[in-house]
Amino acid sequence: MTISAGQEFRKSGYKVPFGTVSITPKARKLIDEALETKWVTKGKYVKEFEDKFAALFGVKYGVAVSSGTDADALACAALYDFGARRGDEVIIPALSFVATGNAVFQAGLTPVFVDVKRDTLNIDPDKIEEKITKRTRAIMPVHLMGKPAEMDKILSIARKHNLKVIEDAAEAHGAEYKGQKIGAMGDTACFSLYAAHIVTTIEGGMIITNCEKTADALRSLRNHGMTGKFTFERIGFSAKMNEIEAAVGLGNIEIFADILAKRRRNMLYLIDKFRLFDKYFITLKQEPYEKLGPHAFSMILREGLNFTKDEFVTFIESQGVDSRNLFYAMPTQCPSYAFLGYKLGDFPEAEYCSNHGTHIGIHQDIEPSQLDYVVEVVQKFLKSKGASY
């Protein structure tokens, strides 16, 4: 029997909690074994977890790190092994969790922002080429909420301009695009293994690649740039995963298919139910050529409504439905990026999604009856606003 932290979330008072953590009996056994050996830093469980995670996506190498942010940062820093210089540019979507932009800066590179599409939340590939300069070294699409970015167009642009593609697949475990697995399409792919994600190590991240040179650079970068026992070849990070985290991850890999199936069931169930509210909300859709890797269910208010996002969020939270804001347009809505000199209006689609969007949990501990309750709460709110559907 899998022991879940879902009950702990429910103690907070939410009828539909945002996240959960699955910790299996196997994980508990491995944790005990690691503690018995007194070797709890990077060791055999981390290596086993790397190999099994990479195998999920059909790639050769996995490099485990301490967070999804570190995964992005190290993947960017590995570009130096392929000719990048400090200050060179990485193209990213304007809308994402701020870690995407922060990681580029942490690697000593410069993020160049591209607006997104409102109906997919992902980078608009038709706006990428105008941002490419002589200093561009990579494109880093984000598969937000588990919705695949338009990888065929992105890869075509990258090949044309001799650029690397780093997939930020933090929220897209198990997603597929036109018959290929998200995470196996770019030069590297980065995953968050934070508590709310499909595969979790509580905290942690993973980078996967088919390139041996990249994998070697990443292993060095996560340990202060060290190779061998005490040779420092790069400016590196302190970003190793420990054995306890890897043990939790190994347990999650054991039940990965079950977690993914339940999350996908929940995502598709809500997508279908929300067709009723199409006049009021933009929600993600699953196209015939893709499979979502469901992280959460996003809702963006359409234009011209007689209620605001804040009113909607306040109401559903009061009814026990936990929610989160739909991130921010990093260059214009995050005060930490004000030094870049962008102004509101520069990324209208990303800004709209942030101003009018929220998202709720669809994790494996949520049952269809709870999703029906979400639908009832939304109906109740819309009726209070005199809406028809």
> How sure is the predictor about 29, in pLDDT bands with cuts at 50, 70 and 90?
confident
Please state the φ and ψ torsions of residue 216, each to the nearest 5 degrees.
-60, -45
Q: Give the pLDDT of residue 12.
A: 54
| Best CA proximity match to 22, nearest among 3, 40, 43 | 3
> How sure is the predictor about 5, in pLDDT bands with cuts at 50, 70 and 90?
very low
Taking residues 37-66, report their average pLDDT: 92
Residue 132 has pLDDT above 60, yes or no: yes
Residue 166 has pLDDT above 50, yes or no: yes
CA angle 45, 42, 260 (to 5 degrees): 50
CB atoms within 10 A of CB 212: 10
Q: What burial class does residue 288 get, using C-beta atoms within 10 Å of its C-beta: 0-12 exposed, 13-18 middle, 19+ buried?
A: exposed
CB atoms within 10 A of CB 287: 13
In the CATH scheme, what is the code of domain 3-254? 3.40.640.10
Residue 155 CA to residue 388 CA, distance in Å, equals 43
- Sole residue written with tokens 């200050």: 87
Give the type of residue at 114.
V
pLDDT digits (tens, 9 = 90+) for 178-196: 999 999 999 999 999 998 8
Please state the φ and ψ torsions of residue 23, each to the nearest 5 degrees.
-120, 115
Taking residues 130-137, report their average pLDDT: 98
Give the list of residues 6+ apart from residue 85 with CB closer than 8 angstroms, or none.
Answer: none
Four-way CATH pick for 256-384: 3.40.50.970, 1.10.443.10, 3.90.1150.10, 3.40.50.740:
3.90.1150.10
The answer to whether 251 and 29 have CB atoms below 8 angstroms apart is: no
Domain ranges in the chain? Answer: 3-254, 256-384
Q: Rounded to whole angstroms, what are the CA distances from 45 to 34, 276, 336?
A: 8, 47, 37
Q: Rounded to whole angstroms, what are the CA distances from 273 to 113, 281, 309, 356?
A: 34, 12, 20, 20
Helices 243-254 and 256-273: crossing angle in degrees, nearest 10, is: 60
The answer to whether 121 and 168 have CB atoms below 8 angstroms apart is: no
| Best CA proximity match to 146, nearest among 291, 21, 289 | 291
Q: Rounded to whole angstroms, what are the CA distances from 293 to 81, 229, 264, 328, 351?
A: 31, 39, 7, 21, 24
pLDDT digits (tens, 9 = 90+) for 302-340: 999 999 999 999 999 999 999 999 999 999 999 999 999
pLDDT digits (tens, 9 = 90+) for 200-255: 999 999 999 999 999 999 999 999 999 988 899 999 999 999 999 999 999 999 99
Residue length of the chain: 389
> How sure is the predictor about 2, in pLDDT bands with cuts at 50, 70 and 90?
very low
Residue 10 has pLDDT above 50, yes or no: no
Give the list of residues 6+ apart from residue 339 with CB closer than 8 angstroms, or none.
Answer: none
Of 264 and 32, the one with more pLDDT: 264
- The pLDDT > 70 percentage for the chain reads 97
pLDDT digits (tens, 9 = 90+) for 72-108: 999 999 999 999 999 999 999 999 999 999 999 999 9
Taking residues 364-388, report their average pLDDT: 95
Helices 44-57 and 243-254: crossing angle in degrees, nearest 10, is: 40
pTM of the model: 0.93
Residue 99 CA to residue 325 CA, distance in Å, equals 15
Beta bridge partners of 208: 62, 189
pLDDT digits (tens, 9 = 90+) for 293-309: 999 999 999 999 999 99
Across 109-120, b (16+ Cβ under 10 Å) vs e yields bbbbbbbbbbeb
Residue 382 has pLDDT above 80, yes or no: yes
Across 216-225, b (16+ Cβ under 10 Å) vs e yields ebbbbbbbeb
